[in-house]
Each structure stands twice: as structure tokens, then as C-alpha cells.
Structure 1
Amino acid sequence: MPDLRPLASVPPADVEALLDAAFGIDRHRRTAYRVREGLQPIGALSFAWVEDGRLTGCIQCWPVQLDTDDGRAVPMVMVGPVAVAPDRQGTGIGHRLMAEAIAAAGSDAPLMLIGDLEYYGRFGFGAERTGGWRMPGPYEQRRLLARGTVPDHGGMVGPRIILAA
């Protein structure tokens, strides 16, 4: 029987193995990793999906901020990675993990991620308000998505810890 539990209850080596299987061993080169560098996931928003003692899915959420061009620091939550074991993809695990993280954060929480609108749009994410945002490293602007109460003008998303972890 599947079990949803806090990600912190799963051995970190299991999480790393799942992320490698889902995204490849070169995943650390991605821009999202640069933004999250040095941070710890928010425990109350990060979950594991365990089936028969095996980690088959996980989601991590991170405390970041948007530094706006007018000097404000806006706390946000960066969602991801959302990983599902290759042999369990397409079974609804990722959907359930996203729904749990969003529910735990609150329906109007300022959430952002780097991902495909075709998938994350069903959870209320969109690129309408992120066109003026900037991030370190290479990324495709159309894949910078947000939901909830977020500014729609300038700034840079950065790895500054200002939310309680």
C-alpha cells in the first residue's frame, strides 16, 4: 500500500538515487540547482511516496526570494524537483505529490518553479507574471512559472533564506 510521508523520514541516499534515475546524474548542472544551492528543503512542504518500502516519488520545496527592481525582497517557495521512478511514471504519483505540496503551502502561497506549462498548468502555474523575472544561469523564460500571490514585474529569484525552513 502506498504511503505519503515527510521527505525527511527517507534516507537522503534514497532521494539522491531517485533523482538520478528520474533526471540523470548531470542534473546538478541545471539552473534550478544553482538557485537552491546551500539551502535546505522546507520540511513541511517536501514529501515522499513510498510503495512496499521503496521510494517511488518525491517532491522538494525550497525557501527563495524574488528581489524586485524597486528593492523589495518577496519571499517565495520554489517547487521541485518532483521526481517519480521511471517505472512508475504516468501513474499519478507526481500529481498527488504536487497536490499535497500545494495544499500544505496554502492555495494562495507564492510558489514558483522551472518546468513545462503543459504539465504544471493543471496546478495553476503560469508564465503570465514571470516575464520580467531573472534567474542565474541559463533557462528558458517560458518555463519560469508561478502561482499564488507573486509580483508581476522585474527582479531576480535568488537563494536567500528568508522563509522559515
Structure 2
Amino acid sequence: MSTTEAVIRPETPADGRRIEALLDHAFGPGRFVKVSERVREFARFRPDLSFCAEADGEVVGLVRLWDIHIGQTPALFLGPLAVHSGRRLDGLGGRLVEHAGAVADARGEGPILLVGDPPFFERFGYAAPPTAGVRLPGPVDPRRVLVRGASQPLSGPVRP
């Protein structure tokens, strides 16, 4: 894998095949059974808030955002976040998370919910306590349900 600096740019429909290859590489077939995949089955994809990282003509990273509601609160759902294994130590995942969050904030979007690794995402302002009342469409470790940008505790089912 090249060490050329990755450029973060908007995802385009032409990236589809390369994105699927990256997701297969990063997560394997197990990605289809995760609760996050259940959310993405009903959420509305936001291509305007989804970004690829490209280096040497290859998609080496991806972050996607989706429209959801948490109870009555409009929100975004982050995922997947994927980085090619050869690029995982250069901060690319964090750059993608920060970039997507900054664009969402600039557009006045609501809170961003995700299911992920607390030590990684807490660095970017995500926290579990405001999500105690959030109900996802399947079993999930509540410590991994994180949000940023919530002005108050969230509660209710995650829905379209």
C-alpha cells in the first residue's frame, strides 16, 4: 500500500465497485449481520455527506452518513467507516470522521449517532451517556452506542 497522502473527496456513484472492495477487505462478510447494517437498510443515504479517501487512484478510506430519527429527533447515522489495512496507522480514519462531522456541522445537521469503538471515537467528541435511551434494531453493546452533537439525552427507537 502506498504512503502517498490520501485526499478526502465526496463519494461518487463511480466509486461503487471500489467501495465494495474496500468494505469486503475491511470487514468481510460479517458486516452484513451487524446492527449498523439493519439501520442502513431503512435509513436514507446522504451522498452529500459521504466521503472517500483516495491515494494513487485507489479508494483507501470511506465514511458515510445517513438520515435517521431517534424517537422524534432528526439525526445522522455514521457508518461504515472503513480504512484499508495498509493505511490504518496514519490517522486516515480520524481524518474521515472529522471531515464528515465538520461538513455536517457546517450544514446545520443534528446529532450524529454511531456504533463503534469508544476509545477511538471519544477523541472526536462522541460519548455514550446521551444514548442510554436509544433503541437500535437489534442487539448491541450499549457502551458502543455513541453520539456527538446532542444537546440533551436522546431516547426512542432509531427509525427512518
What SS does the aligned partner of 1:56 have? strand
Residues 39-58 of structure 1 mapped to structure 2, 5 A cutoff? 39-58=43-62
- Distance in 2 of aligned mates of 1:66 and 1:139: 16
**What does 1:5-154 correspond to in 2, within 5 Å?**
5-8=9-12, 10-67=14-71, 73-106=72-105, 109-154=110-155
Alpha-carbon distance, 1:10 to partner: 4.3
1:28 alignment partner, SS class: helix
Q: Is the 1:10–1:48 contact (alpha carbons within 8 Å) kept by the matching residues of 2? A: no
After superposing on structure 2, the runs of 4+ consecutive aligned residues of structure 1 that deviate more than 4 Å are none
CA distance in structure 1 between the aligned counterparts of 2:69 and 2:150, rounded to whole angstroms:
13
> C-alpha offsets along residues 66-106 of structure 1, whole Å, 9 cap, x if unaligned?
11xxxxx1110001111000111111111110111010011
* CA apart distance, 1:132: 1.5
Q: Distance in 1 between matches of 2:148 and 2:116?
A: 13
Q: Secondary structure at the match of 2:130?
A: coil
Root mean square deviation, CA, Å: 1.7
Give the CA deviation at 1:154: 2.9
Q: Tell me the secondary structure at the aligned position of residue 131 of structure 2.
A: coil
Question: TM-score normalized by structure 1?
Answer: 0.87
Give the paired residue count. Answer: 154
SS at match of 2:121: helix
Q: Which has the higher helix share?
A: 2
TM-score by length of 2: 0.89
> What SS does the corresponding residue of 2:99 show, helix, strand or coil?
helix
State the 1:156 CA deviation: 0.9
Q: C-alpha distance in 2, partners of 1:4/1:10?
A: 15
CA gap 1:140/1:56 in 2 versus in 1, 3 angstroms: same
* TM-fit CA distance, 1:36: 1.1
